[in-house]
Amino acid sequence: MVNVHTPYVAALEGLRGAAIVGVLMFHTGNLAGGFLGVDLFFALSGYLITGLLLREVRSTGGVSLRSFWGRRIRRLLPALALMLGCVSVLVWALMPDDLVRSTLADGPWVLANLINWHLLADSAGYWDRFGAARVFEHLWSIAVEEQFYLMWPVIVLLIARRGRRADGWVAVVALLLSAVSVTLMAVLVDPADPSRVYTGTDTRAFSLLLGAFVATAPVRSWLGRVVAGRWAEVGGLVVVAGIGAIWVLAEGATSAWLFSGGLLAHSLASAALIGFCGGRPTSVTARVLAVWPLRWLGQLSYSLYLWHWPVILLLSPRRTGLGGWAWTVLVCVVSAVLALLSKHLVEDPIRFRAGWARGRRGVLAVVASAATLLLLWTALPAPPAPVVDVTELG
């Protein structure tokens, strides 16, 4: 069996931790630009997945799509299925009718990894703070990543079949597709509501693809030469400071500059930082990012991301009577506890130790999980939609 596991770089785990902190602070109202942590997640995913695929190409001359998708399912589905089932029941039992209706309607789209397109079709704007919240709306980014995981390995496999210089061609294709994605964002953006370009897969793919670009051998070699001098340490810290400044200055939909180059600049800086840390894991910048609290949060980042938004809605300030940092601490602690339970009781056992999660039994387990969730969403009675009596309108 070919070893295609990603070499562990502590700083990259720390970057995951920084990304989830940004998202948590954004959704609790403490950091206006913390939503850009999602872009950092995208760049990391593109970098790590492409590195894994290219190592397999170098070892075998191709990519086993079955093995790749099997690993992704074992990594992502158990925690997602657990959260979807638990949250659906809690929302149905405790929350208002409008949230129950949207939860039962949105669930199947989450399972199909199309929730971002479903929300856009349903006119559920990401930046609409006045509309009704939806408990699964944060999963738009998981859908974008899953769609990338479905398509990108096929592209890499097709490139690998052309010959030995797969890295170079992957770099070229990633850069070209990034340019197309950026162009689509510029053309399709609606300044009044940029949700379409912010959550659409086609207009956000450049963040993932720039991470993929940096993972290729020619770009890594070029970066190694660029950051080899005595100014490399300073440059790494400057990039970190620049990313932090964007997080502080960005204001979401009101920051038009984000959608006319700001998101591209942030993704470029994120990809450069990831490449720098991957190439110089002992640098000062990498050691700062590899501090234990960030690495610990990075290990929990996936489950923490899954749980934090439902926790925010279920334990809202109105329901708890808390506000400010007291409420923020409550949300973070409860989310972390749920993430820890998910990781140690469900995710890690299935990912690393469950023999039944592979092969035909693994396929049956996936089908059974999906069928159980669909049955749950069908069996839970949805509250009737409100009826407006037009005869009473003046």
Domain spans, the chain: 10-380
Check residue 386 and report its DSSP letter: P
User: Are 270 and 40 contacting, i.e. CB atoms less than 8 angstroms apart?
Assistant: yes
d(C-alpha 117, C-alpha 201), whole Å: 8
- Per-residue pLDDT band for 235 (boundaries 50, 70, 90) equals confident
User: Are 335 and 24 contacting, i.e. CB atoms less than 8 angstroms apart?
Assistant: yes
Say which range, 91-100, 116-125, 384-393, has the weakest mean pLDDT. 384-393
User: Are 351 and 365 contacting, i.e. CB atoms less than 8 angstroms apart?
Assistant: no
Q: How many CA atoms lie within 13 A of 386 on its CB side?
A: 7
- Per-residue pLDDT band for 90 (boundaries 50, 70, 90) equals very high
pLDDT at 38: 97
Residues 276-303 have pLDDT tens digits of 999 888 888 999 999 999 999 999 999 9
pLDDT at 132 over 80: no
pLDDT at 224: 80
- Per-residue pLDDT band for 330 (boundaries 50, 70, 90) equals very high
| H-helix or E-strand spanning residue 134 | none
pLDDT at 253: 74
Q: Scanning the structure block, which residue is given the tokens 């609790």? A: 28
CA distance to 55, 56, 64, 255, 340, per residue, from 60 (Å) = 9, 6, 9, 46, 36
d(C-alpha 330, C-alpha 258), whole Å: 31
d(C-alpha 216, C-alpha 55), whole Å: 10
pLDDT at 75: 95
Check residue 133 and report its DSSP letter: P
pLDDT at 6 over 70: no
Say which range, 23-37, 50-64, 123-137, 209-223, has the weakest mean pLDDT. 123-137
Residues 63-89 have pLDDT tens digits of 999 999 999 999 999 999 999 999 999
The single-letter code of the amino acid at 59 is S
Q: For residues 235 and 367, which has the higher predicted lDDT (pLDDT)?
A: 367
Q: How many CA atoms lie within 13 A of 375 on its CB side?
A: 6
d(C-alpha 226, C-alpha 214), whole Å: 13
Mean pLDDT, to the nearest integer, of 182-193? 93
d(C-alpha 74, C-alpha 62), whole Å: 22
Mean pLDDT, to the nearest integer, of 92-120? 96
Percent of the chain residues topping a pLDDT of 70: 94
d(C-alpha 199, C-alpha 190), whole Å: 13
Q: Does the predicted model carry a pTM greater than 0.85?
A: yes
Say which range, 49-58, 65-74, 230-239, has the weakest mean pLDDT. 230-239
Q: If DSSP states are collapsed to H, E and C, what string results for 371-382? A: HHHHHHHHHCCC
**What is the average pLDDT value for the chain, to the nearest integer?**
91
Percent of the chain residues topping a pLDDT of 90: 78
SS3 251: coil
